[in-house]
């Protein structure tokens, strides 16, 4: 067990906020120029020089500050072919330099830098910054989730506290706004069940009010924390897609699980289902999650 206190938590969070804003400057500068892309697994799975530059900047920054910590990043993992591997109790920075790379390439304004810190294998700190919309979200375990618009110099505690939405979370999907992504994989064993789940939701008049899909897992999770989306689900996410957002949702009073599981959220599992908060403390899984899970088809992914 890695021991830490509130002072450690505050220091790590302040540092991550500062680093995310600097990373945002790199992304904003790149927006002014032409963005050359390379494909990873297929033409829907992109990487740019900016993804790599931001990841390098953040790795160097955190390695200098915390040489005893561990580091995982989307692009480093893509290059080495290894994913997270053994996550142990040591604080591990889990970084998505640009989440929503396709949006970034096209100038669709939903993309962000996401910095998560897992301690004792649990998502503990989350910072998400969208430099286009100039929206910063941050949270640390036990200390709430916050949103700052037009951030310049941000101190921990600044911003609006996020609590989901004041309206009660709907008990049925027929009153819920749902978010999901179908991901970049074209493999039929992955894509077919995803399409079938969407088909069930949109063809059944009582199984969902509508589906939204903005192309970034982390930004979907920030929309949940703001209360703009009631429920979000996806399969195929990696730890860097969800680590920061999981803390932000949990600290805003929402719930985050892996599909069909009652266990605490495991960032290495490749599925996620999350609901917004509404000011009530829940000890059980929200009925909305149970109803959506009844429509789901399990999809097998190797663990990160």
Residues numbered 84 to 103 that lie near Ca ion (CB under 5 A) are: 96, 99
Instruction: From 23-31, 102-110, 153-161, 233-241, give the range in contact with Ca ion by CB under 5 A.
Output: 233-241
- Judged by CB, which is closer to ligand IPD: 183, or 253? 183
The residues, ordered by sequence, that sit 6+ positions from 128 with a Cβ below 8 Å of its Cβ are 20, 99, 112, 113, 114, 115, 136, 137, 138, 218, 219, 221, 222, 244, 245, 248
Closest CA to 118 of 163, 145, 86, 144: 86
CB 286 within 8 A of CB 274: no
Q: Which residue shows structure tokens 């039929």? A: 188
CB 193 within 8 A of CB 246: no
Q: What is the pattern of x (binds Ca ion, CB under 5 A) and - over residues 99-138?
A: x---------------------------------------
- Judged by CB, which is closer to ligand IPD: 118, or 119? 118
- Judged by CB, which is closer to ligand IPD: 170, or 183? 183
Q: Which residue is nearest to ligand IPD (CB)?
A: 181
Kindly state whether residue 50 participates in binding ligand IPD, applying the rule CB under 6 A. no
- Give least dist CB 171 to Ca ion, A: 32
Instruction: From 147-155, 188-196, 233-241, 251-259, give the range in contact with ligand IPD by CB under 6 A.
Output: 233-241
- Give least dist CB 216 to ligand IPD, A: 5
The only residue of 24, 151, 183, 253 in contact with ligand IPD, by rule CB under 6 A: 183
- Judged by CB, which is closer to Ca ion: 78, or 207? 78
How many CA atoms lie less than 13 Å away from 190 in the CB half-sphere?
Answer: 16
CB 261 within 8 A of CB 278: no
CB 224 within 8 A of CB 249: yes
- Judged by CB, which is closer to ligand IPD: 12, or 233? 233
- Judged by CB, which is closer to ligand IPD: 103, or 226? 103
Tell me how far apart the alpha carbons of residues 268 and 260 are, in angstroms, rounded to a whole number: 15
CB 16 within 8 A of CB 117: yes
From ligand IPD, Ca ion, none, which one binds at residue 17 (CB under 5 to 8 Å depending on kind)?
A: none
Percentage helix, strand, coil for the chain under 3-state DSSP, each rounded to 5: 35, 20, 45
Kindly state whether residue 236 participates in binding ligand IPD, applying the rule CB under 6 A. yes
Tell me how far apart the alpha carbons of residues 147 and 130 are, in angstroms, rounded to a whole number: 11
The only residue of 15, 101, 124, 163 in contact with ligand IPD, by rule CB under 6 A: 101
Tell me how far apart the alpha carbons of residues 302 and 299 are, in angstroms, rounded to a whole number: 10
Q: What is the pattern of x (binds ligand IPD, CB under 6 A) and - over residues 192-231?
A: -----------------------xxx--------------
Closest CA to 4 of 154, 155, 156, 142: 142
CB 275 within 8 A of CB 254: yes
* Binding residues for ligand IPD, total number by CB under 6 A: 14
Where along the sequence are the contacts to ligand IPD (CB under 6 A)? 74, 96, 99-101, 181, 183, 215-217, 234, 236-237, 241
Residues that bind Ca ion (CB under 5 A): 96, 99, 241
């Amino acid at each position: 067990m890695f021991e830490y206190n509130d002072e450690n938590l505050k220091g790590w969070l302040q540092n991550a906020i500062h680093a995310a804003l600097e990373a945002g400057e790199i992304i904003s500068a790149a927006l002014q120029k032409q963005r050359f892309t390379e494909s990873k697994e297929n033409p829907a799975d992109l990487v740019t020089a900016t993804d790599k530059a931001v990841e390098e900047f953040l790795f160097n920054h955190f390695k200098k500050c915390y040489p005893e910590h561990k580091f995982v990043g989307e692009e480093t993992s893509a290059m080495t072919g290894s994913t997270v591997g053994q996550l142990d109790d040591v604080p591990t920075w889990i970084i998505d330099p640009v989440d929503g790379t396709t949006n970034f390439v096209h100038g669709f304004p939903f993309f962000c830098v996401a910095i998560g810190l897992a301690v004792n294998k649990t998502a503990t700190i989350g910072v998400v910054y969208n430099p286009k919309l100039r929206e910063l979200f941050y949270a640390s375990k036990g200390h709430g989730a916050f949103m700052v618009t037009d951030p310049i110099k941000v101190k921990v505690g600044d911003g609006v506290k996020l609590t989901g939405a004041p309206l009660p979370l709907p008990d049925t999907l027929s009153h819920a706004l749902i978010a999901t992504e179908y991901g970049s994989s074209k493999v039929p064993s992955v894509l077919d069940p995803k399409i079938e789940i969407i088909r069930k939701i949109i063809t059944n008049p009582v199984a969902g009010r509508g589906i939204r899909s903005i192309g970034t897992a982390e930004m979907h999770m920030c929309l949940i924390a703001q209360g703009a989306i009631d429920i979000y689900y996806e399969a195929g996410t990696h730890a860097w897609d969800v680590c920061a957002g999981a803390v932000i949702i949990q600290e805003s009073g929402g719930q985050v699980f892996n599909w069909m599981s009652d266990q605490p959220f495991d960032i290495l599992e490749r599925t996620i289902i999350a609901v917004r908060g509404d000011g009530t403390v829940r000890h059980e899984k929200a009925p909305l999650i149970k109803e959506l899970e009844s429509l789901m088809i399990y999809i097998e992914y190797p663990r990160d």
